[in-house]
């Protein structure tokens, strides 16, 4: 896939920098010369990757446009679908396993009299904006001809947002669909679906979403995701990859069996242990193209097979003359997707569905997967899975993996989270990249070079990283993101780092999603600022104060110089005096600063932007408050 320009303008509130530019605040000071002739490697956009795992609220109540909870009735409690309740007018509402459509169950509504019966749910994600268009689908069948109705009301049943009726003929499953413009703005609304007469009808799937959705995903979330400029997107997991059956994603979305139940409580707690499989392989590839990013897929390792993985590779990359390439072409995707990066399993030693977790058995299994997948496409870059987040276990796990499968693998993986959530403090995150992450990566580089067969130099994939998973974003996680991205940009070449994936952007650090809106969280603000480095050449800068974490780069045409800086000091401001050398043209400077409103968890950034004048046309001073993040752009034209 091709990359477009990665530089975007960031709009900030009009707050004067005041003490941020110049020396109005007492602060330590560093002087740094930025010589555009001292360039290093190109900073790859792949270092700015993300994960999109079907877990917690990343899909439902995240990027998915679906508004209905448990819409395929997979989660059942005491014979009733969770999130729903039934009104049966003397009849009965029950789960029926004899009339499935997708998965195991359908809802059977038996009305005992002419008043009919219905099912309903009320929850915050049923949120409607007056004047906005919505679309609904209901998969239904009846025992005999019936009139069915759908109604959306406010919580108190005093105002109607929309109502509709249809006549359903007896027989097989039928689709009832329609669209409407909301007549009122309602939060926490009520959805009801029922029949008007005595008799029996079944419902198997209910869908309700904004009509402007992007392949079933919320357009506002996708558009905000674009501003992060992700270089690559890893999917469908993470731990969820063990549950993901890719062929089921070729079915019509309402017919795809729900995935689960999850055996780990932390995986899908917000959807009652199931995922409704709203995003299949084609939707994922459409998202990658919309985001202009490279796909990276994790195969099902424990419950899957080498043959299943190879078929997936063929579907993505095979020509129309191959079995699965022909299937893809017949589905409207004539050109191969060209997915290059594939993760051969995820955390197979830990929370996975792998039965035999002996390191050598896993190494042999990985070899079988790698051989089958590369037979389908020899050009793959396969990423081996072993617990390379801890040098103490390199010998036990990574050594046998490289011995067995090292000839077929292109990369090894590592990742980082703080061991415990209570360790995620501002003091902890400002030091972790240089004191914990960098030594880990150097140890992995050294071990992999020694253990790889035939002297091969395998690449490195930083498959997941965040301060901690499962938490909303704050300034602590944003400051950690700044330090990690600076580290990746500076160290990618000597470490052989090829790609990295933040975990995860939607609802866990970068993008906050609400029923009718979404907004950037602190880590997302950092990613948007730092995207200006992508495609530039790294500038070699002199050592500076230990308080300052800095990265600099220059655009290929030399017309843009980008500096990103983090003040690691939690108590004292620090002034940077930046001077230009060999920069052609008359430079302009733009300073964009993210200042923590508090150094405690759950804080937000104060965003500030200013265009300071350069001293003698070549130097500028910028003062960073404690734990502030700055992007300083020098350009020959306004950015």
3-state SS track over 93-114: EEEECCCCCCCCCEEEEEECCC
Average pLDDT, the chain: 92
pLDDT tier at 111, thresholds 50, 70, 90:
confident
Average pLDDT over residues 558-569: 96
Kindly tell me if the per-residue pLDDT of 637 is higher than 80: no
**pLDDT of 80:** 86
pLDDT surpassing 90 at residue 41: yes
CB of 475 closer than 8 Å to CB of 522? yes
- Side-chain half-sphere exposure of 638, counting CA atoms within 13 A: 4
Starting at the edge strand that comes first in sequence, how are the strands of the sheet with 117-122 ordered? 85-87, 117-122, 190-195, 146-153, 160-168
Tell which CATH classification among 3.20.80.10, 2.60.120.260, 1.20.200.10, 1.10.1530.10 matches the domain 76-210: 2.60.120.260
356, 301 in Cβ contact below 8 A? no
With residue 329 as reference, give the H or E element that holds it.
helix 323-330
Compute, in degrees rounded to 10, the torsion defined by CA atoms 438, 443, 445, 447: -170
- Among 22-26, 171-175, 239-243, 508-512, the minimum mean pLDDT is found in 22-26
pLDDT score recorded for residue 90:
60
User: How does strand 629-635 pair with strand 560-567?
Assistant: antiparallel
Q: What are phi and psi of 392, to 5 degrees?
A: -65, -20
Model confidence band, residue 487 (pLDDT cutoffs 50, 70, 90):
very high
- Asked if 102 contacts 72 with a C-beta cutoff of 8 angstroms, the reply is yes
- Give mean pLDDT, residues 504-518: 96
| pLDDT interval class at 17 (50, 70, 90) | very low
Q: Kindly state the tokens that stand for 421.
A: 């959530």
Q: Which two tokens stand for residue 593?
A: 């600063």
* Better-scored residue on pLDDT, 42 or 195: 42
Please check the confidence at residue 632 and state whether its pLDDT lies above 90: yes
Say if residue 19 is exposed, middle or buried (CB neighbours under 10 Å; 0-12, 13-18, 19+).
Answer: middle
Specify the pTM: 0.93
Domain coordinates in residue numbering, the chain: 18-40+537-635, 45-65+214-533, 76-210
Q: Is the pLDDT score of 3 beyond 70?
A: no
Number of other CB atoms surrounding residue 420 within 10 Å? 8
Strands 49-51 and 232-235: parallel
SS3 124: coil
Report yes or no: 395 and 451 within 8 Å, Cβ to Cβ. no
Distance of CA 514 to the CA centre of its chain: 16
Position 254 pLDDT exceeds 70: yes
CB atoms inside a 10 Å sphere around CB 578: 24
Preceding omega of 463 cis (within 30 degrees of 0):
no
Q: Which CATH architecture has domain 18-40+537-635?
A: Sandwich (2.60)
Strands (E), 74-224: 76-77, 80-81, 85-87, 92-96, 106-111, 117-122, 133-142, 146-153, 160-168, 174-181, 190-195, 199-210
- Report which secondary-structure segment, H or E, holds 289: helix 281-291
Q: Which residue is it, tokens 């004899």?
A: 98
Instruction: Give the pLDDT band (50/70/90) at residue 338.
Output: very high
**Main-chain phi, psi angles of 460, to 5 degrees:** -125, 135
| Residues linked to residue 174 through DSSP beta bridges, in sequence order | 140
Whether residue 530 is predicted with pLDDT greater than 90 in this model: the reply is: yes
Q: Which CATH number fits domain 45-65+214-533: 3.20.20.80, 3.40.190.150, 3.40.50.10170, 1.10.357.10?
A: 3.20.20.80
What's the rounded mean pLDDT across residues 209-231?
A: 98
Q: d(Cα 400, Cα 384) in Å, to the nearest integer?
A: 11
pLDDT reported for residue 110: 86
Q: Residue 17 and residue 24: Cα distance in Å, rounded?
A: 11
Residue 157 neighbours by CB distance under 10 Å: 11
Q: Do domains 18-40+537-635 and 76-210 have the same CATH topology?
A: no
Return the higher-pLDDT residue of 12 and 82: 82
d(CA 234, CA 638): 34
Q: Can you give the pLDDT at residue 575?
A: 96
For residue 25, give the 3-state DSSP assignment: coil
pLDDT band at 16 (very low <50, low <70, confident <90, very high): very low
| Reported confidence tier of residue 2, pLDDT bands at 50, 70, 90 | very low
């Amino acid at each position: 896939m091709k990359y477009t320009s990665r530089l975007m303008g960031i709009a900030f509130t009009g707050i004067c920098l005041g003490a941020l530019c110049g020396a109005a605040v007492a602060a330590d000071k560093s002087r740094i010369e930025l010589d555009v002739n001292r360039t290093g490697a190109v900073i790859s956009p792949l270092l700015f990757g993300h994960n999109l795992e079907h877990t917690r609220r990343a899909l439902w109540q995240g990027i998915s446009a679906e508004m209905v909870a448990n819409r395929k009735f997979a989660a059942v409690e005491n014979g009733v679908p969770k999130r729903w309740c039934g009104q049966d007018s003397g009849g009965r509402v029950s789960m029926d396993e004899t009339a499935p459509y997708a998965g195991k169950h359908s809802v059977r509504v038996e009305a005992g009299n002419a008043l009919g019966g219905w099912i309903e749910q009320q929850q915050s994600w049923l949120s409607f904006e007056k004047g906005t268009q919505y679309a609904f689908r209901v998969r239904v069948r009846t025992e005999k001809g019936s009139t069915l109705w759908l109604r959306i009301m406010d919580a108190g049943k005093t105002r109607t947002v929309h109502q509709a009726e249809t006549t359903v003929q007896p027989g097989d499953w039928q689709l009832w669909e329609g669209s409407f413009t909301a007549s009122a703005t309602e939060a926490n609304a009520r959805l009801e679906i029922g029949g008007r007469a005595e008799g029996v009808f079944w419902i198997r799937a209910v869908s309700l979403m904004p009509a402007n959705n992007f392949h079933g995903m919320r357009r506002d979330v996708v558009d905000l995701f674009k501003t992060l400029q992700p270089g690559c997107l890893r999917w469908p997991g993470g731990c969820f990859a063990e549950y993901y059956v890719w062929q089921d994603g070729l079915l019509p979305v309402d017919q795809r069996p729900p995935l689960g139940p999850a055996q780990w409580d932390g995986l899908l707690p917000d959807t009652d242990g199931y995922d409704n499989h709203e995003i299949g392989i084609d939707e994922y590839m459409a998202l990658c193209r919309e985001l202009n990013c490279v796909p990276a897929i994790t195969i099902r390792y424990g419950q899957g097979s080498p043959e299943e993985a190879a078929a997936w590779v063929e579907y993505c990359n095979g020509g129309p003359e191959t079995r699965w390439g022909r299937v893809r072409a017949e589905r409207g995707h004539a050109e191969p997707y060209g997915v290059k990066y594939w993760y051969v399993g995820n955390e197979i030693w830990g929370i996975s569905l792998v039965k035999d977790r002996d390191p050598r058995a896993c190494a042999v299994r990985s070899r079988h997967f790698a051989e089958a997948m590369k037979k389908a496409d020899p050009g793959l870059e396969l990423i081996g899975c072993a617990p390379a987040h801890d040098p103490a276990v390199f010998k036990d796990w990574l050594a046998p993996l490289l011995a067995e499968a090292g000839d077929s693998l292109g990369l090894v993986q590592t990742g980082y989270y703080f061991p415990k959530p209570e360790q995620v403090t501002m003091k902890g995150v400002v030091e972790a990249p240089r004191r914990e992450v960098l030594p880990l990566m150097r140890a992995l580089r050294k071990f992999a070079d020694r253990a790889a067969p035939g002297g091969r130099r395998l690449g490195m994939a930083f498959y997941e990283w965040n301060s901690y998973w499962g938490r909303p974003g704050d300034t602590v996680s944003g400051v950690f993101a700044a330090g990690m991205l600076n580290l990746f940009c500076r160290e990618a070449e000597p470490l052989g780092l090829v790609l990295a994936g933040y975990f995860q952007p939607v609802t866990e650090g970068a993008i906050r999603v609400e029923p009718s809106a979404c907004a950037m969280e602190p880590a997302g603000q950092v990613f948007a600022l730092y995207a200006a480095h992508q495609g530039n050449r790294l500038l070699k800068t002199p050592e500076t104060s230990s308080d300052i974490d800095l990265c600099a780069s220059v655009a290929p045409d030399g017309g843009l110089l980008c500096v990103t800086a983090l003040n690691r000091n939690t108590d004292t401001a620090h002034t940077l005096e930046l001077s230009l050398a060999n920069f052609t043209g008359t430079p302009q400077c733009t300073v964009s600063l993210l200042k923590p409103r508090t150094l405690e968890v759950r804080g937000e950034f104060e965003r500030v932007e200013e265009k300071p004048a350069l001293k003698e046309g070549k130097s500028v001073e910028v003062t960073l408050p404690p734990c502030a993040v700055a992007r300083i752009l020098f350009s020959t034209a306004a950015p």
